Structures are given as C-alpha cells and as structure tokens.
Amino acid sequence: MHNTWLSLLIMTLSIYAVRMLPFLLLRKNITNRFIRSFLFYVPYVTLAVMTFPAILSATANPGAGLCALIVGVLVAWFKGDLFTTAVCCCGAAFLFSLIVP
C-alpha cells in the first residue's frame, strides 16, 4: 500500500469506528451492576496505567519525569485543581532539567 491519502482515509475511518460503535450500541443506561461498576473504575485504571511509567520516559532525563510525578501527586492531593497541577508538573520538570543537565 503506497498511497498515503488512501492509507490515511482507511485508518481515520477505522479509528472513528472504534470510538463511535459504543455510543451507537449502548443507547440505554446499563443496568447490570457489575458492568456499571466496571465502567466506573475504567478511567481510574486507564489514566493511572497511562501515567506510570510513561511519565518517566516523557523527559530526556527520567529524574525530571519522576520529579514531575511526585510534585503532581502532592499538588493534586492537596489542591486538586487541574490547571495548577499541570503547571506545577511542567515547572518541576523544567527546573529539574535546569539543575541536573
């Protein structure tokens, strides 16, 4: 397959189908207690798994990522604000990279 445009079209449609099918199929609220609980827990697990250990390899020096992780957990725990947490993580990673080259 050497047609870039066609490749892009195929993959764009595939990814949209993956995202849209549940919205089409699950029109009513699920009543099954297990499934509801399962879906309730999905975001916590997914976001936790995506954060660690990926945050360590997001920066050139894993220490900067670790620093951002610790600062992020503390700020989120005590303040909880989304924007503040994100900015503090950026600041922590940036400061670390300035101090430790």
Interface positions, 39-98, toward another protein (CB under 8 A): 39-55, 58-60, 64-65, 68-69, 72-73, 75-77, 80-94, 97-98
Residue 20 within binding range of another protein, rule CB under 8 A: yes
Q: What is the distance between the alpha carbons of residues 53 and 68, in angstroms, rounded to a whole number?
A: 12
Minimal distance, residue 74 CB to another protein, in Å: 9
Minimal distance, residue 99 CB to another protein, in Å: 11
Applying CB under 8 A, the site for another protein has a residue count of: 75
Q: Which amino acid is at 82?
A: L
Measured in degrees and rounded to the nearest 5, phi and psi for residue 38 equal -55, -50
